[in-house]
Amino acid sequence: MSIKSIISNVIIMAMFLAGCAGIKPLSDNTGNPDLYSPPFVQKINEIKELYRSGKSGQALATLKGMDDSRFLPCEKAMRRNLMGVILYSQQQFEQAIFNFDLALSTSKDDGALTAQINLNNASSYFKLSQIQKSFEIAKAIDSAQLANEELTKYHLLYYELAKRSGQGRDAMISLMRYLGEKQSIAALRSDKNFDFLLADFSKLSYSEKMRILDDFEDNNYLCVAYLGFLEVEKLYYAGDKDSARDLLQWVDKKSTSFPEVKEMANSFFLKVAGHAQIDPLAIGVILPLSGERGKYGKRAMTGIDYALANLNKKNNQSQEKYKLYIEDSRESGAIGSFSVKNLIDRYHVSVIIGGLFSNEAIKEYLEAKKHGVLFISLSQIYLPREMKDHLLIEIPGSVESQMELLFSSQIIDELGKKGAIIYPKNDRGTAYVNEFWNKSQAVGVEIAGAIAYDENVTDYRDYVANILGLKFNRERQEELDIYKEVYSQEKHSSTKRIQTLPPQIDFDWIFVPSLPNEALQILPSFNYYDAFKINFIGNPSWNSPMLAKESIKLGKLYFIGDGEETSDDQVFTNGFFKAYKKVPKVVEMQSYDAMNIVEKIIGNGLKISTRDELDIHIREISSLEGITGKWTLKEKAWIKIMDIFKLYRGEVRPFDNSNPPASSAETTTNSSI
């Protein structure tokens, strides 16, 4: 889901509590000449323009000066309603109510206007904390007369009123009606009101939940189908499998219009109906072992082999050994996906290690997810958070793991609460910007800008100019004219560009989830526009020798990566070098870690024979640790605990917001892939 779409789904209740919700000045029936004369409509539209342009005092004075003695009844009502709206915006709620009441006395011929006035009136009483009166009015509103925007506000107001009046069931139903407009799970989960709904729904008994869901039998709401699916999972893993299967059939029927829920239901059906038996010691491995990427697949296989040799040496000789079943993805996600199914059908593998490259990882994971198989990915998987669960572990640290750190107090307390993002127009960029938006809303970070760039270009100046406010001269025309005059009088002005406006740096830091070669083109463009001393934050790929080498020229550079090296890391490095006579790099370390994570999950003589048992066992694990980091299970997804570092004069240093003097030995740390 794009950030533009997500922005439209920001919580409306916050707007309501700030004084905006429920206020609508005009009816949709103004085109009816029996109710409203054309001259009246024209005059009202002029007053509306005054109000919208911030001239509310002038708009109110014009309304008061109108002689309504010859007005039609609905015209009188509309005039009074608009007066009430303006008074409401000025926090004069008693006067607003007085005008809304007068409006109701002549509005009966226009049902839409009457509904709007009642909604405005209920909102006014709510602002005066007269909850009972507000609720009485809200109950009498004919919601069928409200247009979409007003209907949304009505449901949120009704939810708040019902909740405060102790009518929990009515509150929940109203919240479900409000969320009924959401058409994707991403939009649903990004709205905090869905969290409130989940919390309230979870408190109900099973029979109460079923009655609530039955109330919406005839409504085509995504939130209802999704709630049903979440209840299926809860029932199944609580041991009530018969109820889960019955409800799953209802969800399957209910989700016909919602492919996301339909896919979840189908995958869950496959998980509980077939492929139940597993061999816990059978491990599937899918890597590109041929073609141009074959050398990386073989290096990953070396890391797995080294881990396996260590495990076999450590474990009791009487204990059964792991069995590896290896498939060549041939650099193809489609072949990798087929290999997943083959490993499940033929060998009943308990876990699959794969996804060395992201384009293969996505297809392999989706196939594994369909069958409820644990998938350990050697690269990041660029999918929405709601498509990930406890059966996916991303060894390099997922996008969600990076955003968890980026929006932590460690960073925003130091760098500030105004962020921006410039990201590539591809699956990687989409995954980053969506989670960037979701986390910013959760912690209250203001997003000052979000610009997508074409990954195939080599000149990024237009994108940088956009995020610096240099692409909108019309909005900054007065400022531009002043600077042009000053610029024209300078005797020694720079000829590097025509642009004379100074940059608008209205963010404290900017996140740039680019590859190192892209960053080397993007970051200098900020200096080009005189935007110096910017706090840039990159993703783990920024731990790069080429970027570190140029860091002194580029500003304050930070990147999110794995934590500091530990003694276990050094033991691994020394042992690997002794065994293979070469220093391990990222591929070897991460593949070694993947195999060790398998041991931590299903080792130590774990007695399981079905996917259900393994699934339940994984859900009960709170954390996992390897040489590259630690993962915690949070909101049904594995989040890697990451750290932030500073690139300064060729060195990787601990995070701080100062520029310490360079040491005599300026070296880079981590090797490339």
Q: Which is more confidently placed, 15 or 651?
A: 651
Is the per-residue pLDDT at 651 higher than 80? Answer: yes
Would 208 be classed as within a structural domain?
Answer: no
| Spatial contact of 512 and 519, defined as CB atoms under 8 Å apart | yes
**Residue found under tokens 């073609």:** 291
Q: What is the pTM of this model?
A: 0.68
Rounded mean pLDDT of 62-73?
91
pLDDT band at 567 (very low <50, low <70, confident <90, very high): low
Q: How far apart are CA 264 and CA 271, in angstroms?
A: 10
Lowest-pLDDT range of 16-20, 70-74, 159-163, 311-315: 16-20
Q: What is the pLDDT, as a whole number, of residue 344? A: 92
Confidence of residue 481 (pLDDT cuts 50, 70, 90): low
Positive or negative torsion for Cα 407, 542, 425, 556:
positive
Q: What is the pLDDT of residue 485?
A: 55
Max intra-chain CA distance, the chain = 101
Beta strands in 290-415 (DSSP E): 323-328, 349-354, 374-377, 392-394
Average pLDDT over every residue of 267-275: 68
Calpha distance 382→401 (Å, rounded):
12
For residue 312, being part of any structural domain is answered with no
Percent of the chain with pLDDT over 70: 86
- pLDDT-derived band at 523 (thresholds 50, 70, 90) equals very high
For the chain, what is the domain count? 2
Dist. CA 337–CA 343, nearest whole Å = 10
Note whether residue 212 is domain-resident. Answer: no
Predicted pLDDT of residue 663: 40
The total of other beta-carbon atoms located within 10 Å of residue 241's CB is: 14
Of 125, 150, 165, the one marking the end of a domain is 165
165, 188, 220 - which closes a domain: 165
**Single-letter amino acid code for the residue at 589:** M
Residues facing 643 on adjacent strands: 561
Report whether pLDDT(472) > 70.
Answer: no
Phi, psi of 280 (to 5 degrees): -60, -25
pLDDT tens digits, 216-231:
877 889 999 999 999 9
Please say if the pLDDT value at position 484 is more than 90.
Answer: no
Task: Please report whether residue 555 resides in a domain.
Answer: yes
- Residue range(s) defining the domain that contains residue 529: 401-468+503-561+646-654
68 within a domain of the structure (yes/no): yes
Q: What is the pLDDT of residue 110?
A: 92
Encoded amino acid at 577, one letter: F
Q: Report how far apart, in Å, the C-alpha atoms of 438 and of each of 9, 385, 535 are.
A: 11, 10, 21
Buried b (16+ CB within 10 A) or exposed e, 369-400: bbbbbbbbbbbbbbbbbbbbbbbbbbbbbbbb
Rounded Cα distance between 602 and 321, Å, is: 12
Domain termination site, one of 165, 194, 221: 165
What is the per-residue pLDDT across 360-419, written as a single tens digit (0 to 9) for each?
Answer: 999 999 999 888 899 999 999 999 888 899 999 999 999 999 999 999 999 999 999 999
Q: Which residue has the tokens 């980026």?
A: 406
pLDDT of residue 462: 92
Residue 184 has pLDDT above 50, yes or no: yes
394 - beta bridge partners? Answer: 377
d(CA 52, CA 59): 9
| Average pLDDT of the residues of the chain | 85
Q: How confident is the model at residue 669 (pLDDT cuts 50, 70, 90)?
A: very low
pLDDT confidence of residue 290: 95
Neighbours of 486 (CB within 10 A): 11
Please tell me the predicted confidence (pLDDT) of residue 17. Answer: 37
Q: Which CATH number fits the domain that encloses residue 55?
A: 1.25.40.10
Nearest CA to 71 out of 23, 123, 106, 24 is that of: 106
- What residues contact 443, with CB distance under 8 A and at least 6 apart? 407, 412
Across 616-645, average pLDDT = 93
In a domain, 201, yes or no: no
Q: Cβ neighbours of residue 222 under 8 Å, at least 6 residues apart? A: 180, 182, 183, 184, 185, 188, 257, 258, 260, 261
Confidence of residue 604 (pLDDT cuts 50, 70, 90): confident
Both tokens of 658, joined, read 């100062």
* Residue among 598, 558, 278, 275 at smallest CA distance from 405: 558
Looking up residue 424, the CATH number of its domain turns out to be: 3.40.50.2300
What confidence category does residue 551 fall into, taking pLDDT thresholds of 50, 70 and 90?
A: confident
| Cα dihedral 82→85→87→91 (10° resolution) | 180
CA-wise closest residue to 603 among 277, 280, 354: 280
SS3 325: strand
Q: Strand, helix or coil at 260?
A: helix
Whether 78 is in a domain gets the answer yes
Q: Of residues 19 and 210, which shows the higher confidence score? A: 210
Kindly report the CA angle at 641 between 635 and 647, in degrees rounded to 5?
Answer: 140
Q: What is the mean pLDDT of residues 561-575?
A: 80
In a domain, 483, yes or no: no
pLDDT of residue 621: 94
pLDDT score recorded for residue 225? 92
